[in-house]
Structure 1
Amino acid sequence: MFAVRERMPLWVQTRCGLERRSVIALVVVLVVAAGFAVHHFWAGRAQPVSAPEVVRSAAPGEGAGASGAGQEPGPGPSAPAGGAQTPGGSAGTGGSGGTGGAEIVVDVSGKVRSPGIHRLPAGSRVADALRAAGGIRPGVDLTGINRARLLADGEQVVVGAPAAPGGTGATGAGAAGAAGAGAAAAGPIGLNTATAEQLDTLPGVGPVLAQHIIDYRTEHGGFRSVDELREVNGIGDRRFSDLQNLVRP
C-alpha cells in the first residue's frame, strides 16, 4: 500500500492524506476503471461477419404440385378433339397429319395452276396435292376425282383427263395414272384433226397450249409423227412423256 501511495502524484497524496482507507478506495476505483476499459475493448473488437443465407421463396402453386405428384395430368384445354390441323391438310380428317416429319413426292399434272413435282407430308390426300399445285382450273369436272384418297410416294395425279372405265377418275397412280388408261380406252386424240376443246382435255394442256398445237399444225401442214410435239412451244420432255401415248398424228 505504501509503495502505491509513494508513486501517486503529490496532489493526490495531499488530497487523500496518508489514510489507509483512502488508498484502498483509490485502488478499487482504478481496478474498476481498468475492468471497464478491458470490457469496452473486448466488446468493440472486430468480428467476422458471414453472409446471410439466401432462402428461396416457393413459387406459387409449388406446394400443390408436390402434393399431387402422383396424379396423372388431364387433357389440356387447347387440345383439339379431332387432331391438329397441319399446313395443306384438313382438320379432323387426318388428311395431312404426317408421321414424324416424313414426306412423300408426288407428280401433279393436268388442269391445275402449278403442275409439277410437289413434296407433301406422309399421309397426305389427293386434296392436299391439288392444293399444293395451286388448285384446279375453273370449269374442270371433279366428278371422278376422289379427293379423300391417301397418296403414295412417287404417285402421279392427273387432273382433267377422260375418266377410266369403272369410275377410277382422273387421279390414278403409277407412271401414266388412271387418266392414261381412260384415254387409251377412248382412243388416242388425232393431232391433225382435234379441236382446241379436245386438245384441252389432255393432261397438262390448257387453252393456250392447245392453241399452240393448232398453230404449229397450221404452219407446218400437220403432224407427221407424235415426236413433233416436242417442237411445239410449251411442251417439254416431261409433258411430252405424259402425252405421247394419248395422241396420234
Structure 2
Amino acid sequence: MDPGRAGCLGVVLVAVIGCVVLLVTRDPSGETRAVPSRPLPAPTPTSATTSRVSELVVSVVGRVREPGLVTLSAGARVADALRAAGGPLPDTDTMALNLARELSDGEQLYVGVPVPERASASRPGDTTPTTSSKVDLNRADEQRLRELPGIGPVTAGAILRWRSENDGFESVAQLREVDGIGPVRFDRLRELVRV
C-alpha cells in the first residue's frame, strides 16, 4: 500500500524530530554523564571510639596517710596518686617508686610495702620489688641492668666490668665500688638489686 506524499512527509518529520531530540539531550562531548547522587550523611562516631577516659580510679595502699581509692584526671602520674592519698607517712622509702610514671585506670599502687605474691610485681615503679623481682647483680646482662633507674649504657658496662674483674658481687654494698655509683644512686638502687 502506497502511503502517499503526506505519509512520507509524516515519516520524515518524525525522523527529524527524533534526531533533534537526540542532539539536544546528548552531552556535547559525546560521553555519557553520571547522574549526580546526593551525598551520604557523615557517619556518627560510636561512643567506643570517641569516649576517652577523662578520669582514673587508682587504689593506693601501704604507708600513706589516706589509703584507698583516689580519683585522678587522665594522664595522672604516681606522684599525683601519692598526693591524693595524703602523701607518704614519715620515714617511708619512696625511692623505688617511679613518681613520673603515668597511671592507668584500675591499677593498685603499693607504697612502702611489699607487693603480695598474687599481685604482679613486674609493673615498673609500683613499689619496692619482692626478692624474686629484684635484679641479680651476678646474672643480669646489660639490658636488664639498664632497666634500673638512673642506669645507662656506661654505668651498666661499669657494673659488668666490675663483676668480671672481681669474680662477681658478694653483697649489694659492693655496688658502691663501681665507677659512677655514688651514695645517692646507691640509695636508689639497693632495694632494687640482689646478689
TM bin, normalised by shorter chain, reads 0.3 to 0.5
Q: TM-score, normalised by structure 2?
A: 0.40
| Larger RCO (CA within 8 A; separation ≥ 6) | 2
Q: TM-score, normalised by structure 1?
A: 0.32
Rg comparison, structure with higher value: 1
